[in-house]
Amino acid sequence: MQFKNIVGLDSTKHHLINLVAQDRIPHAIMMNGHKGNGGLPLAIAFAQYIMCTNKGTTDACGECSNCLKFSKLQHIDVHYSFPVISDPDLEPLSVNYLKEFRASFVKNAYLDITTWLDDIEAGNKQANISAKECRDIIRKIQLRSFEGGYKFLIMWLPEFLGKEGNILLKLIEEPPAQTVMIFVTENYDNVLGTIQSRTQLINLPPLQDAEIANALIANGVAEKTAMQIARITEGNYTQALQAMHHEEESHFAMFRDWLNVLFTNNGPGITNWVMAIAEKPKETQKQYLSYVVTMMEHLIRTKWVGKENLLLHPEEDAVLEKMILKNITEEKANEIAQFAADNIYAIERNANTKIVFHSLSLQVKDVFAGKSLYL
Ligand SMILES: [Zn+2]
């Protein structure tokens, strides 16, 4: 995680970089921001910046061996602690959920507690950071760092510590040399006062609508939609990303409808579908075509490596299965992807979109029917 991957927070990034440049890195920091503000990725980017062996004046290099380990949360001297559930078969220690935590974070660095608890199938079970976890932290932090430099504790959501958190006080007050503890809270008032008073508070500024909108546009969202999402989500980038995925869901609905009319060779249905997409903004049309390309790549990979290795929505999975059953081979999928990709350029060159989508539909219908142009 590099600073450049984090939305907004420029003044905080600046402050953190200065702390490193001036050799004034505090040993215990409390990053305080609301949900979706980016506290967790910022904490990780800060640790990575400190550890980067080839850092610049504004960011970590992203390429040295330390940076590479950070990209998968696999640096051996960085310990993560976060809320987990009590399970009769598994001690409530973060380390027992580390694999899931890495996967969730890699999937979405703007993870929130709801998604996290869903990811570990917590159901109605209460999550917390337990006394056992606190003792495990003390044990780990007192070990020497494996690589001879700094070691870190990054605790996500210390508000999930009960009174047990007081077990950590001595460690926070007198940590071993070259230890940095970063706590990331979304609810500062619920953090133990004893921990509040022993950590250096860094308040994260709220994200601006423009910052969120720009980040969404960089992710391929159309400008108007990006601004709408930014306004609705009020500085919560986690929510903005979720809203963006809803947009993608509408791509899925369009794709499913398209396949239905094409497979059944439903002429009026095809025309209606074309009219509907031709009215959408160009950016949405291009995104839809990119989505078709991605789905065809997924289809090919499903055939090659099996669907369990792909992270697809079950509905998308079901549609691809259906296509495979209807004898859409890798070659056909590849051809459809090629047609879709070609038409992205056609739209960029201001082609008439009704004609683009109509002729694309006929091409794909022919591929389905085995009347391929290329094969
Ligand atoms: Zn680096």
For residues 358 and 343, give the distance between their C-alpha atoms in angstroms, rounded to a whole number.
11
Distances (CA, A) of 125 to 91, 114, 117, 198, 353: 14, 12, 9, 31, 51
CA of 203 to the centre of ligand 1 (A): 26
CATH class of 3-206: alpha beta
Q: Where in the chain is the domain with CATH 3.40.50.300?
A: 3-206
CA of 46 to the centre of ligand 1 (A): 12
Chunked into runs of 10 residues, the chain (375 residues) has average pLDDT values of 95 97 96 95 97 95 93 92 90 94 92 90 88 95 82 97 93 93 97 96 95 90 84 88 80 90 91 92 82 88 73 78 89 94 90 94 90 55
The residue to which tokens 């209606």 are assigned: 272
Global confidence as pTM: 0.71
Contact 106, 144 (CB under 8 A): no
* Angle subtended at Cα 238 by Cα 284 and Cα 124, rounded to the nearest 5 degrees: 120
Centre of ligand 1 to C-alpha 42, Å, is: 16
Name the residue among 212, 363, 206, 228 with its Cα closest to residue 283.
Answer: 228
Residue 152 alpha carbon to ligand 1 centre in Å: 16
- pLDDT value of residue 373: 53
Model pLDDT for residues 255-288, shown as the tens digit of each residue: 999 999 999 888 999 999 999 999 887 777 887 8
User: How open is the CA angle 213-216-220, to the nearest 5 degrees?
Assistant: 130
The pLDDT assigned to 308 comes to: 63
- Alpha carbons 68 and 13: distance in angstroms, whole number: 20
Q: What is the pLDDT of residues 111-146, one digit of tens each?
A: 999 889 989 988 888 899 999 999 999 999 988 777
In angstroms, the CA 160 to CA 7 distance is 26
47 Cα–ligand 1 center, Å:
11
For residue 61, report the distance from its CA to the centre of ligand 1, in Å. 4
- Token readout for 16 is 């953190």
Distance from Cα 60 to the centre of ligand 1, integer Å = 5
In this prediction, residue 372 carries a pLDDT of 58
**What is the model's pLDDT at position 245?**
81
Tell me, what DSSP letter sits at residue 207? P
Distance 56 CA to ligand 1 centre (A): 9
- Res 375: pLDDT: 42
Residue 39 contacts residue 32 (beta carbons within 8 Å): yes
Q: How far is the CA of 92 from the centre of ligand 1 (A)?
A: 33
Of the candidates 284, 297, 292, 301, the one whose C-alpha atom is nearest the C-alpha of residue 244 is 284
Half-sphere exposure at residue 321, Cβ-oriented, CA atoms within 13 angstroms:
10
> Which candidate, 154, 179, 211, 203, places its Cα nearest to that of 40?
154
